[in-house]
C-alpha cells in the first residue's frame, strides 16, 4: 500500500474480530515506531503488549471502564520516558505521538484495524502496576489492534489544505 493510501484510509475502528494480531505481524507494525523523529535520537517511547495476565490486572484497575478494554484482541500500551529537562520532555512526548502514528499507518498497510485511545487508568497506582509502568514513565495511549468486523467507515470529508496552511512571505 502506498503511504498516502495508508494515511487516507486509516480509520479508528472499535469493532474487532476475536483473533489476535499474530506476533510477527505485530512486531513488524511496531517496528515502524523506530523511525519516528526524535530529539537527539533518544527514542523515548516504550510499547508494552498486554498479555492475558496483564489484561486481568488492567481490567481490575479500570473498574467500570473495563469493558472498553475488551474491544480489540491485541492491546499495546504506548508510553515514554520524559527527559528531566522541561523543553526536552515536551519533545519526548511529541516524538512518542509520532512513534504511535507510524504503527497505526503500518497497521493499515498490513490490513490490521486500529484504535488509539487515551485512558486515565494508568494514572492510578493499580493501573501503572498492571502493566509494570515504572515511576516517571508517562502513558500516551492504549493502542487497540485487530481485524475489523465488516468494512471500515468511508473516508470522512476533511478541510482543504488552504484552510490550515499559510504560506508566509
| Residue 12: CATH number of its domain | 3.40.109.10
Cα 154 from Cα 55, distance rounded (Å) = 31
**Residues 34-79: tens digit of each pLDDT:** 999 998 899 999 999 999 999 999 999 998 888 889 899 999 999 9
Give the helix ranges, DSSP H, for the chain.
Answer: 3-9, 23-31, 52-62, 86-109, 125-130
Instruction: Give the domain range for residue 69.
Output: 3-163
Contact 132, 122 (CB under 8 A): no
In a domain, 103, yes or no: yes
In a domain, 22, yes or no: yes
Give the chain's domain count.
1
Cα 154 from Cα 160, distance rounded (Å) = 18
**Residues 88-147: tens digit of each pLDDT:** 999 999 999 999 999 999 999 999 999 999 989 999 999 999 999 999 999 999 999 999
Cα 129 from Cα 37, distance rounded (Å) = 29
Q: What are phi and psi of 85, to 5 degrees?
A: -90, 120
DSSP 9-31: H--B---B-SSPPPHHHHHHHHH
Q: What angle do CA 44, 49, 55 make, to 5 degrees?
A: 125
Residue 33: closest CA among 85, 130, 77, 98? 98
Contact 63, 119 (CB under 8 A): no
Higher-pLDDT residue of 21 and 157 is 21
Per-residue burial over 73-92, b = 16 or more CB atoms within 10 Å of its CB, e = otherwise: ebbbbbbbbbbeeeebbebb
pTM confidence score? 0.93
Contact 140, 90 (CB under 8 A): no
Q: How many residues does the chain have?
A: 169
Q: What angle do CA 92, 45, 41 make, to 5 degrees?
A: 65
Q: Is the pLDDT of residue 166 over 90?
A: yes
In a domain, 169, yes or no: no
Amino acid at each position: 500500500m502506498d503511504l498516502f493510501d495508508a494515511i487516507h484510509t486509516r480509520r479508528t475502528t472499535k469493532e474487532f474480530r476475536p483473533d489476535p494480531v499474530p506476533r510477527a505481524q505485530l512486531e513488524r507494525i511496531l517496528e515502524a515506531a523506530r523511525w519516528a523523529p526524535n530529539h537527539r535520537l533518544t527514542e523515548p517511547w516504550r510499547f508494552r503488549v498486554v498479555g492475558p495476565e496483564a489484561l486481568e490486572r488492567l481490567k481490575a484497575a479500570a473498574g467500570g471502564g473495563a469493558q472498553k478494554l475488551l474491544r480489540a484482541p491485541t492491546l499495546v500500551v504506548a508510553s515514554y520516558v520524559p527527559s528531566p529537562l522541561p523543553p526536552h520532555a515536551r519533545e519526548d512526548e511529541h516524538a512518542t505521538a509520532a512513534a504511535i502514528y507510524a504503527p497505526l499507518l503500518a497497521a493499515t498497510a498490513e490490513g490490521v484495524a486500529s484504535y488509539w485511545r487515551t485512558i486515565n487508568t494508568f494514572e492510578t497506582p493499580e493501573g501503572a502496576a498492571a502493566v509494570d509502568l515504572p515511576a516517571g514513565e508517562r502513558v500516551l495511549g492504549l493502542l487497540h489492534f485487530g481485524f475489523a468486523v465488516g468494512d471500515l467507515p468511508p473516508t470522512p470529508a476533511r478541510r482543504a489544505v488552504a484552510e490550515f496552511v499559510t504560506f508566509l512571505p
